[in-house]
C-alpha cells in the first residue's frame, strides 16, 4: 500500500469507527429505560455490538500507525471526530431511535457487504465477522419498524415523523471523505455514491411497503432524494450534541487519567 492509500484508509477507518462508537453510545442510553424489557435488552445488546465493531476498526487503525483505541476515544476534541452528524443526534423517542437504527444498520449492512470483498485482507476479515452480527440487527429492526408503521394511528404517525426527520441526516452517512477515490481505485473500499444508491434501493421500497412516505421518488431505475443531506461530520463539523456525549465520556478520564484498570 502506498503512503497516500494508508492515509486515506486511516481516514475511512476513523469515520467508520467513530460512527459505530457514537451510535453505540446513543443506543446504550436505552439501557434500563426501554419501553418494554425485550427492547431494553435489544438496544443494550446492539449497542454492545456496535462498540465491538468500533473497537475492531480502531484496532486496525492503530496497527496502521494511529494512537491506541483508548487514547483515540478518550482524548480527542469534537473537531477530530469523523462520525456522521446522524449518529450524534439525541436518542429522541423510541420511534426515532428505532428508525435511526433501521436506517443506520441498513447502511452498515451495505457497507460491510462491499468491504467483505476488499483488496485489503484485514478489512475483509473484519467485515465478514461484523456482517454475521448485523443479521440480528436487521431482523430485529425490520420487524419492529414494520410492526410500528402498520400498528396504531399513533405509532404510524410517530414512525412517519421519525422517518421524515431522520432521512436527511441518514444521507450524511455517505458523505465523501478525503482520499476516497484512492481507495476505490485500489479496490480497498466502495464509492460512497455507490453505497448510497444501494441503500436507497434497499430501504425505500421497504419503507413504502410499510405504508410510510419516503422523502424520495422513483426516476427510472433510480431513487431521487427530495431532501438536502445533512453533511459535515466527515470533515469534523458537528452539532452541539456531540459535545454532550464527549463531556460524559471524558469526565472520568479527565478526573483520573490512570483509571483504566477496572
Partner 1 sequence: MDEREQILWTALEEVKDPEIPTVSVVEMGIIESVLIDGPRASVTMIPTFSGCPALHVIRDDIAEAVRGAGFEAEVIVSRKAWSTDRLSESAREKMRAIGLASARPHGGNVEWEMLAPVPCPYCGSENTAVENSFGPTLCRAIMYCNGCRQSFEKFKPL
Choice from 49, 108, 175, 180 touching partner 1 (CB under 8 A): 49
Helix (H) or strand (E) holding 32: none
Q: Write out the binding residues for partner 1, residues 148-207 only, by CB under 8 A.
A: none
**Contacting residue, 35, 90, 122, 244, with partner 1 by CB under 8 A:** 122
Distance CA(72)–CA(169), nearest Å, equals 25
If one counts every other C-beta atom within 10 angstroms of the C-beta of residue 239, the result is 16
Interaction of residue 136 with partner 1, rule CB under 8 A = yes
Query: Which residues, in sequence order, are bridge partners of residue 219?
Result: 222
95 binds partner 1 (CB under 8 A): no
Given 129, 156, 241, 250, the residue binding partner 1 (CB under 8 A): 129
- Quick check: 125 binds partner 1 (CB under 8 A)? yes
d(C-alpha 223, C-alpha 262), whole Å: 49
239 binds partner 1 (CB under 8 A): no
Q: On the CB side of 105, how many CA atoms lie within 13 Å of its CA?
A: 27
Largest distance between two CA atoms of the chain: 58
DSSP classification of residue 212: P
- Beta carbon nearer to partner 1, 25 or 140: 140
Phi-psi region of 232 (alpha: psi -120 to 50; beta: other; left: phi over 0): left
Size of the site for partner 1 (CB under 8 A): 27
C-alpha 134, offset from chain centre: 12
Is residue 41 close enough to count as binding partner 1 by CB under 8 A?
A: yes
CB of 258 vs partner 1, minimal distance in Å: 18
Under rule CB under 8 A, residue 38 binds partner 1 = yes
Of 9, 12, 17, 46, which lies in the binding site for partner 1, with binding defined by CB under 8 A?
A: 46
Give the closest residue to 230 by CA, choosing from 161, 165, 159.
165
Interaction between residue 56 and partner 1 (CB under 8 A) = yes
Residue 53 interacts with partner 1 (CB under 8 A): yes or no: yes
Whole-angstrom Cα distance, residue 3 to residue 180?
14
Shortest spacing between CB 239 and partner 1, in angstroms: 26
Q: Is 55 in the site for partner 1 (CB under 8 A)?
A: yes
Look at residues 37, 47, 27, 168 and name the one whose alpha carbon lies nearest to residue 92.
Answer: 27
For partner 1, give the closer residue by CB, 125 or 201: 125
Residue 98 near partner 1 by CB under 8 A = no
Q: Do 172 and 231 touch, CB atoms closer than 8 A?
A: yes
Residues of the shown chain interacting with partner 1 in the complex, contacts defined by CB under 8 A: 38, 41-42, 44-46, 48-53, 55-56, 60, 122, 125-126, 128-130, 132-133, 135-136, 139-140
Amino acid at each position: 500500500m502506498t503512503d497516500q492509500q494508508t492515509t486515506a484508509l486511516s481516514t475511512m477507518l476513523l469515520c467508520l469507527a467513530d460512527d459505530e462508537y457514537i451510535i453505540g453510545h446513543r443506543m446504550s442510553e436505552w439501557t434500563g429505560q426501554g419501553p418494554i424489557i425485550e427492547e431494553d435488552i435489544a438496544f443494550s445488546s446492539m449497542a454492545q455490538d456496535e462498540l465491538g465493531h468500533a473497537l475492531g476498526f480502531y484496532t486496525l487503525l492503530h496497527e496502521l500507525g494511529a494512537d491506541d483505541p483508548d487514547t483515540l476515544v478518550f482524548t480527542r476534541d469534537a473537531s477530530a471526530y469523523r462520525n456522521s452528524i446522524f449518529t450524534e443526534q439525541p436518542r429522541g423517542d423510541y420511534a426515532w431511535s428505532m428508525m435511526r437504527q433501521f436506517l443506520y444498520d441498513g447502511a452498515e449492512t451495505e457497507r460491510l457487504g462491499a468491504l467483505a470483498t476488499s483488496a485489503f485482507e484485514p478489512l475483509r476479515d473484519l467485515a465478514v465477522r461484523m456482517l454475521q452480527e448485523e443479521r440480528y440487527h436487521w431482523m430485529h429492526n425490520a420487524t419492529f419498524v414494520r410492526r410500528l408503521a402498520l400498528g396504531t394511528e399513533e405509532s404510524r404517525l410517530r414512525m412517519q415523523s421519525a422517518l421524515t426527520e431522520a432521512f436527511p441526516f441518514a444521507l450524511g452517512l455517505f458523505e465523501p471523505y478525503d482520499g476516497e477515490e484512492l481507495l476505490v481505485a485500489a479496490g480497498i473500499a466502495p464509492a460512497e455514491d455507490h453505497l448510497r444508491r444501494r441503500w436507497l434501493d434497499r430501504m425505500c421500497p421497504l419503507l413504502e411497503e410499510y405504508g410510510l412516505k419516503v422523502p424520495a421518488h422513483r426516476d427510472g431505475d433510480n431513487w431521487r432524494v427530495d431532501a438536502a443531506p445533512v453533511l459535515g461530520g466527515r470533515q469534523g463539523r458537528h452539532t452541539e450534541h456531540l459535545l454532550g456525549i464527549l463531556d460524559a465520556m471524558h469526565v472520568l478520564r479527565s478526573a483520573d487519567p490512570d483509571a483504566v484498570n477496572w
